[in-house]
Amino acid sequence: LYQPQVDLRSGDVFAVEALLRWKHPTRGMVAPDTFIPTAEETGLIVPIGDWVLHEACRQNKAWQDAGLSPLTVCVNVSARQFREPNLIGRVVNALRDSGLEARYLELEVTESLIMQDVELAVATMNALQNLGVQISIDDFGTGYSSLSALKTFPVARLKIDKSFIKDLAADENDQAVASAVISLGQNLHLKVIAEGVETDDQVAFLRKNNCDEMQGYHFSKPVSAQGIEKLLSGERGG
């Protein structure tokens, strides 16, 4: 499935995040939290992740070929995939096979993944950036992040974790964390996106505090590829 990401100032959809589902023959749609940890342990996440990468690039190129205004597709990358020595080769293959330009692909990595081995992570992120691929830090604020290291990371955006957004309208601590992450991003010249945005009050707080972008049920749940097409052509038609 794909979930739109929206520019908070213009209201435009500029990206979608690919969110994996397992269509199980008897259990129906299975959410990733229930199978990704096992896939990580067994190593199956490597071929699964490779499929996601190829499929997301192929779909994004198909949207462009169908005449939709170009979007970025964001793909979650787990620690195991990130440590694979041929990650760069896999990304190159997905871009080549799909014909998608690198600038329309973004990889989401978590803080904790980066902090496992900062030097290796920065080298890998630099190699990806040299390809033209963008990188964002997912679940930002929940991990053990070194702020001194953060300024050396070649990343384009910080994604404020949805746990800070959930009670944003009422909880002063969450407000403090969210506005601190927003100013941190501004000062480091990174875009800041809030995830899990569901209510008008949350949107109002984010706008007031100059957050750049949002993602969440307020605008749209994760939907099928056709759902994205419908949503964007509807948007174009007014």
Binding site residues, ligand C2E, CB under 6 A: 3, 18-20, 31-33, 36, 45, 49, 52, 76, 78, 108, 138-139, 162, 195-198, 216-217, 222
Min CB(81)–ligand C2E separation in Å? 6
CA gap 153, 171 in Å, rounded: 30
Min CB(143)–ligand C2E separation in Å? 12
Q: Contact 106/137 with Cβ under 8 angstroms? A: no
Q: Which residues pair with 6 in a beta bridge?
A: 13, 214
Task: Classify burial at 113, counting beta carbons within 10 Å of its beta carbon; exposed 0-12, middle 13-18, buried 19 or more.
Answer: buried
Q: Contact 90/127 with Cβ under 8 angstroms? A: no
Helix (H, G, I), strand (E, B) or coil at 95: helix
Min CB(5)–ligand C2E separation in Å? 10
Task: Return the one option of ligand C2E, Mg ion, none that residue 19 interacts with (CB less than 5 to 8 A, by type).
Answer: ligand C2E
Q: Which is nearer to ligand C2E, 49 or 185 (CB)?
A: 49
For helices 45-65 and 225-236, the axis angle rounded to 10 degrees is 30
Helix (H, G, I), strand (E, B) or coil at 159: strand
Task: Return the one option of Mg ion, ligand C2E, none that residue 196 interacts with (CB less than 5 to 8 A, by type).
Answer: ligand C2E
Q: Which is nearer to Mg ion, 107 or 203 (CB)?
A: 107
Task: Return the one option of ligand C2E, Mg ion, none that residue 124 interacts with (CB less than 5 to 8 A, by type).
Answer: none
Q: Which residues pair with 75 in a beta bridge?
A: 18, 107
Min CB(173)–ligand C2E separation in Å? 19
Min CB(188)–Mg ion separation in Å? 19
Min CB(7)–Mg ion separation in Å? 18
**Closest to 16 in 3D by CA, of 72, 62, 64:** 72
Q: Which is nearer to Mg ion, 20 or 99 (CB)?
A: 20
Q: Contact 197/215 with Cβ under 8 angstroms? A: yes
Task: Return the one option of Mg ion, ligand C2E, none that residue 217 interacts with (CB less than 5 to 8 A, by type).
Answer: ligand C2E
CA gap 80, 69 in Å, rounded: 33
Q: Which positions touch Mg ion (CB under 5 A)?
A: 76, 108, 138-139
Q: Which is nearer to ligand C2E, 47 or 70 (CB)?
A: 47
